[in-house]
Amino acid sequence: MRTAQPRHYLMCRPTHFDVVYSINPWMDPRKPVDTPLAIAQWESLRQTYLSLGHTVETIDPLPGLPDMVFAANGATVIDGRALVARFRDAERIAEGPAYLQWLREHGFADARTASIVNEGEGDYLLAGEWLLAGTGFRSDPRSHAEAQEFFGRPVIGLTLVDPDYYHLDTALSVLDEKTVAYYPAAFSPGSLAVLQRLFPDAIIATDADASVFGLNAASDGYNVVLPHNATHLIEALRERGFNPIGADMSELLKAGGSVKCCTLELRSAG
């Protein structure tokens, strides 16, 4: 029997969303972006969370920061403590201070900016007792030690090797404390062996699941919100007793983001 745990999320409305630079292979500034459609898809995701009983807070979007909608990258928040992102790319650096300020003003006094490149929940995913940590494209491997010291949680470093899956949350999804789904081809051989050792019962995503960003999902332990066209993954989740809920995030995918990227989890103390 799977049970849903109410979540506390932070989101950022894509008011200024656009693709005007390219920092991952999905982003093509020549392709038109329909910002009103992105806003509608984001709003529908927010409504889905509210209908599941989750709390959703929002941070004000800042002009000139078209990727700020991807709130997951703003920080990692565990036990009421926040390690705020230090972005790799100049285009996103100003998002860090905005998230730091929001967190400090909303009860997270213990918020601090990472001293080494660290893209928040894009690369850091809490799975039970372990903090899974991606590297290879964005977060610096040395940021793993900083995160372990800050949170006092064992950090498991995982190396990503496929530029299409440049953040850990594009290649792996935490479904509950013990269950994950992942796309094997996104990981180095050693990291894949680590995943097989830690999660022998994991759901294995197909090429098709990964290519629609099916792993970029938000789970509450029972309900799993994910891109609606990840059909194999949706079926696999259902077979394992989860309740998959499809979302259309096609506009946000033009920037290399989807459901999870738009969602930062705020985990309070205790």
Residue (67 or 265) nearer to ligand ARG, CB = 67
Q: In what order do the strands lie in the sheet with 8-11?
A: 55-58, 8-11, 264-265
Q: In whole angstroms, what is the distance from residue 230 CA to residue 87 CA?
A: 29
Of 11, 13, 24, 46, the residue at the interface with ligand ARG (CB under 6 A) is 24
Query: CB 118 → ligand ARG: shortest distance, Å?
Result: 12
Backbone angles phi, psi at 235, to 5 degrees: -65, -45
CA angle at 20 for the pair 19 and 24, rounded to the nearest 5°: 65
Active site residue 167: yes
Site size toward ligand ARG, by CB under 6 A: 16
Going residue by residue from 119 to 158, which x/- string records binding to ligand ARG, judged by CB under 6 A?
Answer: ---x------------------------------------
- Beta-sheet strands, E only, within the chain: 8-11, 55-58, 75-78, 81-84, 111-113, 124-127, 130-135, 155-159, 172-174, 180-182, 203-204, 218-219, 223-227, 243-247, 264-265
Task: Single out the segment in contact with ligand ARG by CB under 6 A; choices: 2-10, 183-191, 232-240, 253-261.
Answer: 253-261
Of 218, 224, 253, 255, the residue at the interface with ligand ARG (CB under 6 A) is 255
Considering only residues 173 through 232, tell me which ones interact with ligand ARG, judged by CB under 6 A: none
Regarding 261 and contact with ligand ARG (CB under 6 A), the answer is: yes
Considering the candidates 12, 54, 144, 167, report the single residue annotated as catalytic.
Answer: 167
Query: CB 239 → ligand ARG: shortest distance, Å?
Result: 26
Regarding 263 and contact with ligand ARG (CB under 6 A), the answer is: no
Active site residue 261: yes
- DSSP-based three-state secondary structure for 39: helix
Query: CB 92 → ligand ARG: shortest distance, Å?
Result: 6
Tell me the sheet residues that pair with 8.
55
Residue (22 or 148) nearer to ligand ARG, CB = 22
Q: Using an 8 Å Cβ cutoff, are 216 and 226 in contact?
A: yes
Q: DSSP assignment, residue 116?
A: S
Cβ atoms within 10 Å, residue 249: 27
Of 7, 45, 67, 158, the residue at the interface with ligand ARG (CB under 6 A) is 67
Closest CA to 160 of 129, 185, 142, 143: 185
Which positions touch ligand ARG (CB under 6 A)? Answer: 23-24, 27, 67, 70, 72-73, 92, 122, 167, 169-170, 255-257, 261
Residues acting as catalytic residues: 167, 261
